[in-house]
Chains A and B, each alone.
Chain A
Amino acid sequence: MELLMDFKIKGGDFLNAGESSGMIKEYLKKLGLPPTFIRRVLVAAYEGELNVVAHAYSGTIAFYMDESKVKVVVTDRGPGIPDIDKAMEEGYSTASPEVREMGFGAGMGLPNMKRNSDEMEIASEIDNGTEVTMTFYIEKG
């Protein structure tokens, strides 16, 4: 599979969160892939991007593709995830009640990524960072 795009993400830059996943979406739209497929990739990539912005110091999103699948790899330098199983539970969030009250940190990030991708792998190291690899198989339209 070939690397088609590669973006840097700044931790804490909520203002520009979503730009990288937006570019991936534009690429897939130009290719003319089915809207439902594009949506799955977009939602998952967006959540991945937001996770880096919210939790890490910095990170990258890499977008790979061939004729049968898309792969999105989100890598960050950050605190890491202590309990991946816990983080995968819907509604589990490390956000403070105040943040939740403002409508953020609903604990749907990783579950949403899992639900929208066909395969997802997480590798995380405490105090070092996290790498999430998501694969999406292109359904024949």
Chain B
Amino acid sequence: MFPASFDYHKPGSIEEALELLTTLGADVKLLAGGHSLVPALKLRLTQPKHLIDLAGIAALKTVAVRENRLVLGAMTTHWQVESSPVVKAALPYLCEVAGLIADPQVRNRGTIGGSLVNADPAADYPASILALDAEMVCVGRGGRRIVHARDWFQGLLTAAIEEHEILSEIRIPLLPPRTAATYLKLRHPASRFAVVGVAAIVTVTQDQRCAEVRIGITGVGSCAKRAGSVEQQLVGHRLDATRIEAASAAACDGLEIDGDMHFSAEDKEQLCRTYVRRALLRTMHLAESGAFQPTRNAP
């Protein structure tokens, strides 16, 4: 599988990249790891004239905590998230999520920014980005723009980024005290993408009532979505198995679920409800045990 020919550019700064992006014309793709783009190039599904590799821009590789937020440069690889001491101290949940993406080869090159801009309907990060209520910082020649997670995923392979913008960083609010988080994923038997992936984040009161909950679902629809109907049924309540089971029945509300050659729409709906229920049960287990976030040690 051989891509059509293209010109390769490797800018050293965001400014330089933006300059290239505006001067090279419309036929440009940004390379941010390449685990979706390079296969598409090799299959000649896309044949851009220019490829701008963002790997040389140090400013896109920040991993830091600022103003009670975890700030991840868009070019942070999945492995860096999985293994970073900064992430591990600030938001161990995200280490766990990154470690569940694909395989080590992909995690070594794939980046969080690449994944979020590509907005693959079965990618892992989007569910968590929604549940974490993250913000995406997009830079263009006109300046910077902040997009909230709930506005980011707009449809199949479509994110709220403009043609001449670059996603520079992802800002993730650190979890408030007494907040538990789980990402649960059913791997596709062939691709190992998420058939369904559910991120559930719950803040509990001292008497174990749900003060706040955000659930992100990836895999089953055309893009990742919040499970608003489920969330509504949980806030203010004590989340026992019965309450969770009842609320999870609404897991597919607002999702347009189509069948494919592996799973029928009915299968996916059942799996979606099951995974929302299980993710919530596990989250509550973490809350009740006092652990709140997964404590898996990065390999």
User: Do chains A and B interact in one complex?
Assistant: no
Q: Residues on A close to B: CB < 8 A?
A: none
Q: Residues on B close to A: CB < 8 A?
A: none
